[in-house]
């Protein structure tokens, strides 16, 4: 018995060591468990359930399988294509305008001639912390008819009033105006952070070589900011494709569906007509569009970076 005791003790020690290692290995998973469970319940499950729902029709107990009928319906739905066209037109105008203004604003704030940079930075960033609903309500009052402040200013300088919310083209421009006001400062602060990371020696060397402000901007600033530009372009494109709050509060999708966006059309089908299967199909069509555009932008700008 005495000869067998040491091996038995060694075996028990080895088993205890393995159990301790397993417990230590399990600790990270236990710490991650609350986040993983929350993600699974509130993110993964709704996404999967929505995908399955897109292949059904009806509601409640009358729900039944419809195959790809909802996706076929999308292709023949003129209102969906109207919403997609409106969203695309707003995107094409608003994103370049907003990012161009944001870049110029950031360059101006970053200039060595500007004093009180912190105050200016706070001032341009303030609109982005304003609630989207509050922003829409505020601009609805500013842009309304002859009583709005914007038309009052136009009349004060001798220009005619504009029916901002009653004409299709001007209604879309009103949405562009609201988006630009709300998000330009946010992107300007991002660009400002990128500008401050560019070594000053590059500009000094360019000035010694005789490069002017425009040449320094195109040859140093823009190439150095390309990763930041890519980030803001992709982020702004995704946000505009998901546009909902501003047109919903400002115009309600009118006039004559001129500002109806894909997200608003999704909302109408899901929560006004309770056609959740079709609404889910719209959501996944929008997801596919966002993914394709995002990947294309990253591919094009990534190739330029190389």
Q: Which two tokens stand for residue 50?
A: 């929505």
The label of the residue with tokens 């001007």 reads 170
Q: Identify the DSSP state of 271.
A: I
- What's the pLDDT score for residue 277? 92
Is 158 found in the same domain as 291? yes
Give 10's pLDDT tier (boundaries 50, 70, 90).
low
Is 11 found in the same domain as 99? no
- Residue 208, class by beta-carbon neighbours within 10 Å (0-12 exposed, 13-18 middle, 19+ buried)? exposed
Task: Note the pLDDT tens digit of each residue in 230-249.
Answer: 999 999 999 999 999 999 99
Whether 115 is covered by a domain: the verdict is yes
Q: Average pLDDT over the chain, rounded to whole?
A: 87
Task: Note the pLDDT tens digit of each residue in 217-229.
Answer: 888 888 889 889 9
Is 119 found in the same domain as 15? no
Is 84 found in the same domain as 214? yes
Is 11 found in the same domain as 111? no
Is 36 found in the same domain as 170? no
Under 8 Å between Cβ of 251 and 259? yes
The DSSP H or E segment spanning 184 is helix 168-196
Whether 69 is covered by a domain: the verdict is no
**DSSP string for 220-257:** IIHHHTHHHHHHHHHHHHHHHHT--HHHHHHTTT-STT
CATH of the domain at 153: 1.10.3720.10
- Residue 144, class by beta-carbon neighbours within 10 Å (0-12 exposed, 13-18 middle, 19+ buried)? middle
Give 1's pLDDT tier (boundaries 50, 70, 90).
very low
Which of 279, 264, 238 has its CA nearest to residue 136?
A: 264
pLDDT surpasses 60 at 79: yes
pTM of the model: 0.83
From the CA atom positions of the chain, what is the Rg in Å?
28
Task: Note the pLDDT tens digit of each residue in 205-221.
Answer: 888 888 888 888 888 88
Is 300 found in the same domain as 230? yes
Is 165 found in the same domain as 40? no
CA distances from 275 to 58, 182, 193, 268 (A): 7, 33, 45, 9
Is 38 found in the same domain as 118? no
Give 304's pLDDT tier (boundaries 50, 70, 90).
low
Is 143 found in the same domain as 230? yes
Whether 132 is covered by a domain: the verdict is yes
pLDDT surpasses 70 at 96: yes
Q: Identify the DSSP state of 67.
A: T
Which residue range forms the structural domain that includes residue 26?
Answer: 5-53
Which of residues 8 and 226 earns the better pLDDT score? Answer: 226
Total domains in the fold of the chain: 2
Is 198 found in the same domain as 82? yes
The DSSP H or E segment spanning 279 is helix 276-305
- What's the pLDDT score for residue 5? 56
Q: What angle do CA 39, 43, 49 make, to 5 degrees?
A: 135
């Amino acid at each position: 018995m005495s000869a067998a005791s040491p091996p038995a003790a060694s075996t028990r020690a080895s088993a205890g060591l393995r159990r301790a290692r397993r417990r230590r290995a399990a600790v990270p998973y236990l710490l991650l468990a609350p986040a993983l469970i929350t993600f699974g319940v509130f993110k993964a499950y709704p996404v999967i359930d929505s995908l399955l729902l897109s292949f059904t029709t009806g509601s409640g107990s009358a729900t039944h399988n419809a195959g790809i009928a909802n996706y076929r319906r999308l292709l023949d739905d003129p209102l969906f294509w109207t919403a997609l066209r409106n969203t695309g037109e707003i995107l094409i105008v608003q994103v370049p305008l907003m990012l161009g203004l944001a870049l110029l604003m950031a360059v101006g704030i970053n200039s060595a001639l500007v004093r009180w940079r912190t105050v200016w930075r706070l001032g341009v960033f303030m609109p982005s912390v304003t609630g989207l609903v509050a922003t829409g309500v505020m601009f609805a009052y500013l842009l309304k008819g002859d009583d709005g402040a914007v038309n009052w200013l136009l009349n004060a300088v001798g220009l005619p009033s504009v029916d901002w919310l009653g004409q299709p083209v001007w209604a879309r421009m009103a949405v562009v105006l609201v988006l630009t006001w709300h998000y330009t400062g946010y992107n300007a602060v991002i660009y400002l952070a990128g500008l401050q990371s560019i070594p000053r020696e590059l500009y000094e060397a360019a000035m010694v070589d005789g490069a002017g402000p425009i040449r320094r901007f195109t040859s140093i600033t823009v190439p150095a900011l390309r990763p930041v530009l890519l980030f803001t372009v992709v982020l702004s494109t995704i946000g505009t494709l998901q546009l909902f709050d501003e047109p919903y509060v400002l115009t309600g999708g009118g006039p004559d569906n001129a500002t109806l966006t894909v997200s608003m059309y999704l909302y109408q089908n899901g929560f006004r007509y309770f056609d959740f299967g079709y609404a889910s199909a719209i959501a996944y069509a929008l997801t596919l569009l966002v993914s394709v555009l995002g990947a294309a932008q990253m591919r094009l700008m990534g190739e330029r970076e190389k």
